[in-house]
Amino acid sequence: MDEWIKSLKTNTPQEGFELAIKLATKGIEYVQPDEKIRKKIRPKYSRNPDNLIAASEVIAIHYQTVAAANNYWRTNKRVY
């Protein structure tokens, strides 16, 4: 597969969220590489509450990773 991610680093929490969505989507793409099949099932699951909430959960898990990677986009210095 082509390079689709270079770094977990993002400039903002919102870009980080969008990266989390990309990661969730890529997980599905690796399991189902056929774009035609994915496009066919998309209208169905994007109207199904179970699927929408489950997709939101996958995004949430990836967002934990991305947020940690970015040290939660903290700008304040912590003194030890």
Q: Given the rule CB under 8 A, which residues bind a second copy?
A: 1, 3-9, 12-14, 17-18, 21, 23-24, 26-28, 30-32, 37, 41, 44-65, 67-69, 71-74, 78, 80
Q: How far is the CB of 11 from a second copy (least distance, A)?
A: 12
CA distance 73 to 71: 5
Question: What does the CA dihedral 11, 12, 13, 15 come to, rounded to 10 degrees?
Answer: -70
Kindly report the CA angle at 41 between 40 and 47, in degrees rounded to 5?
A: 125
Q: How far is the CB of 32 from a second copy (least distance, A)?
A: 5
Q: How far is the CB of 7 from a second copy (least distance, A)?
A: 6
